[in-house]
Structure 1
Amino acid sequence: MPAVPDEDSGIHCRLDELLEQRGMTLTRLSALVGVSIVNLSVLKNDRARAIRYSTLRAICDALDCDVGDLLVVGPHP
């Protein structure tokens, strides 16, 4: 069954926490991965509906983390 557009997926992006732990800004991450600050902000605020594997890999490489460190599954609402 396809997701409803406004449905909470239960996936949480920990981008804000990882940036803080590494002392990195969203602006710096944007420059490193070649993704706009606006798009990273959408991801950071759990409003993204999709992410390319190449973008996910670039973010994980820049933050020296695994996908599971960045994206976590929470309980279903």
Structure 2
Amino acid sequence: MHDILDLDRRGLPGAFVATVEFEQAAEAQGNALGFHPFRLYVEHPIQDRTEDEMRAIADAAFPSVLESLVDVKPSG
């Protein structure tokens, strides 16, 4: 969270990605810092996942993370 806050202060976009196990801790830290960046929670645990399983988790999360980092303008 501190790293994303530092990026924000520099005018750079950031996003917080963690497993659902850390949802309450992230909320508490955000409250303490007065900072609530985009947060995305993925399934837990991830440490024993295969490469293919991790890729599937990342592929599912990527569009939301990307959208949070860029100013998406509709084409046309």
TM over 0.5, shorter chain: no
Task: Give the TM-score, by structure 1 length.
Answer: 0.29
Higher Cα Rg, which structure: 2
- Structure number with greater CO (CA < 8 Å, separation at least 6) is 1
Task: Give the TM-score, by structure 2 length.
Answer: 0.29
